[in-house]
A and B are shown apart, each in its own frame.
Chain A
Amino acid sequence: KAGVTQTPRYLIKTRGQQVTLSCSPISGHRSVSWYQQTPGQGLQFLFEYFSETQRNKGNFPGRFSGRQFSNSRSEMNVSTLELGDSALYLCASSLSRDAEAFFGQGTRLTVV
Chain B
Amino acid sequence: AQTVTQSQPEMSVQEAETVTLSCTYDTSESDYYLFWYKQPPSRQMILVIRQEAYKQQNATENRFSVNFQKAAKSFSLKISDSQLGDAAMYFCASGEGGSRLTFGEGTQLTVNP
Which A residues contact B (CB, under 8 angstroms)? Answer: 31, 33, 35, 42-45, 48, 50, 55-56, 88, 90, 92, 94-106, 108
- State in angstroms the CA–CA spacing of A42 and B20 once bound together: 22
Interface residues on chain B, size class: 20 to 34
Chain A residue at minimum C-beta to C-beta distance from B31: A98
- State in angstroms the CA–CA spacing of A88 and B42 once bound together: 12
Q: Name B99's contact: one of A43, A55, A105, A108 (CB within 8 Å).
A: A55
Which B residues contact A (CB, under 8 angstroms)? Answer: 33, 35, 37, 42-47, 50, 91, 93, 96-106
Residue pairs across A and B with CB atoms within 8 Å: the count is: 69
Q: Are B106 and A98 in contact (CB under 8 A)?
A: no
Q: Name B98's contact: one of A98, A104, A106 (CB within 8 Å).
A: A98
| Chain A residues, CB < 8 A from B105 | 42
Q: Are A33 and B101 in contact (CB under 8 A)?
A: yes
- State in angstroms the CA–CA spacing of A45 and B100 once bound together: 6
What is the CB-to-nearest-CB distance from A82 to chain B, in angstroms, rounded to a whole number? 22
| Chain A residues, CB < 8 A from B106 | 42
| Chain A residues, CB < 8 A from B103 | 35, 42-44
Q: Are B44 and A103 in contact (CB under 8 A)?
A: yes
Known A-B contacts A43-B91, A90-B45, A103-B44; the reply to A98 vs B100 at CB < 8 A is no
Known: A35-B101, A56-B100. 6 other contacts (CB 8 A): A33-B98, A45-B100, A45-B102, A94-B99, A97-B98, A100-B50
